Structure 1
Amino acid sequence: ANPSCLTPEVTTASSASRKTCPASGDLLQKHEESLSSLSRQLAASEQWAGRVNETLSAIQETLARLVPPTAPAVPAPPPVPSASLSVGSVRDPAPPALVPFTGELGRCGGFLIQVSLLFQRYPQAFSNDAVKISHVIGALRDRALDWAESYLALHPVETVTYVQFVRDFKAVFHHPLRSDEAARQLHGLRQGGRSVAEFSIDFRVKAAETGWGEDALRGSALPPSPVCSSELAPE
């Protein structure tokens, strides 16, 4: 086309395009410069981080040389239970054996006394009635054991209380002297060929069965007590 034939509008647009091209080039150049600056800053940061890592490694090596390695932890032994925590930590000794009871008259009261003291001394060993009854029966001999055999046939140990057992036991074997009978035996008591100590024991037992006090014994027409005689003997 003939340039002279172009319209004024086309000519004006071409001039504006030529004017804007240098501005775009400047913008691209600025972007390139910014990217180059960022690249340099990133490289400097990486170098600084590398130097920091080297410094930390050197510090760790120095500490490793100064501080000895720790020994592996040894597990603590299990705690020993303290004796104060529980009375049962130390086992009580076994209860002593009872003196056997054969059913002899006049011995039942003393036998039951030692049974009562044993149960009071070892309450944990005799914690229920069945255990108590079984322990008493284990000390019976001869006629007393024969009675226990017949008794348990009618009263199994699991069905009777200890109080009931003792009551039935005393009904058969415990026959304390009446005071008048004890006084009669005390009147007839003589030392004979026994020692003073043996005679004194018998005298005191019979005197206790009468229920008399010391004043009554001194004022009665009894043979003098060995103890009373020694107390009244002139020096």
Structure 2
Amino acid sequence: MDPRLPSTAEVLEELVSALRASLTPVTTPSSASVSPMALPASYAGDAAVCGGFLLQVDLFIEMQPQKFTTERSMVAFLIFLLNGKAKALEWARAIWNANSAIINSYDAFKNHFKEVFGYHRSLDF
């Protein structure tokens, strides 16, 4: 492993910090009435569960829009849910560390995620 590259733990710490910063609670009357939701399950790169994982992430974001005020915060949340021992996190780490423009668009990131991890619409019911 290249000693110049950050470790997986360092990447996770960076992503958690970014996620925490993006999830700063907004005090509004509507946010007080929202029931807490469980986080979606983590994702390890299995194409068979890619669609379900992305659906759960989308629903979590949709149900708590006050927590995701930027496209980048949505991307950071999706990356936060990737399993630390899987190729999915390594793939995302490379994109995040390169500060690729794709991390500034949730839809673009999610579409690229689908391409890489094998989610195909033909498998939908």
- Which category of TM-score, normalised to the shorter sequence, fits these structures? 0.5 to 0.7
The one of 29, 43, 66 aligned to 1:87: 29
Partner of 1:116: 58
2:77 partner letter: H
Change (3 A) 1:153 1:123: same
Partner of 2:116: 172
Q: Distance in 1 between matches of 2:92 and 2:119?
A: 18
Counterparts of residues 31-50 of structure 1 (less than 5 Å): none
Is 2:39–2:60's contact at 8 Å kept on the other side of the alignment?
no
Counterparts of residues 23-38 of structure 1 (less than 5 Å): none
Gaps of 5+ in 1: 1-85, 183-204, 209-235
Is 1:109–1:174's contact at 8 Å kept on the other side of the alignment?
no
Query: How far apart are residue 163 of structure 1 and its match?
Result: 1.4
Rg: which structure is higher? 1
Partner of 1:101: 43
Aligned Cα root-mean-square deviation (Å)? 2.8
Query: How far apart are residue 98 of structure 1 and its match?
Result: 1.7
1:135 partner letter: F
Query: How far apart are residue 177 of structure 1 and its match?
Result: 7.5
Q: Distance in 1 between matches of 2:61 and 2:116?
A: 22
Partner of 1:194: none
Partner of 1:126: 68
RCO (CA 8 Å, sep 6+): is it higher in 1 or 2? Answer: 2
Task: Report the secondary structure of 2:66's partner residue.
Answer: coil
1:146 partner letter: E
The answer to whether residue 67 in structure 2 is matched with residue 137 in structure 1 is no
Gaps of 5+ in 2: 1-27
| TM-score between both structures, scaled by the size of structure 1 | 0.36
Q: Kindly report structure 1 stretches of 4+ aligned residues shifted beyond 4 Å.
A: 91-95, 156-159
Change (3 A) 1:115 1:134: same
Partner of 1:163: 107
| TM-score between both structures, scaled by the size of structure 2 | 0.63
Once the two structures are aligned, what percentage of the paired residues are identical? 26
Count of residue pairs the alignment pairs up: 96
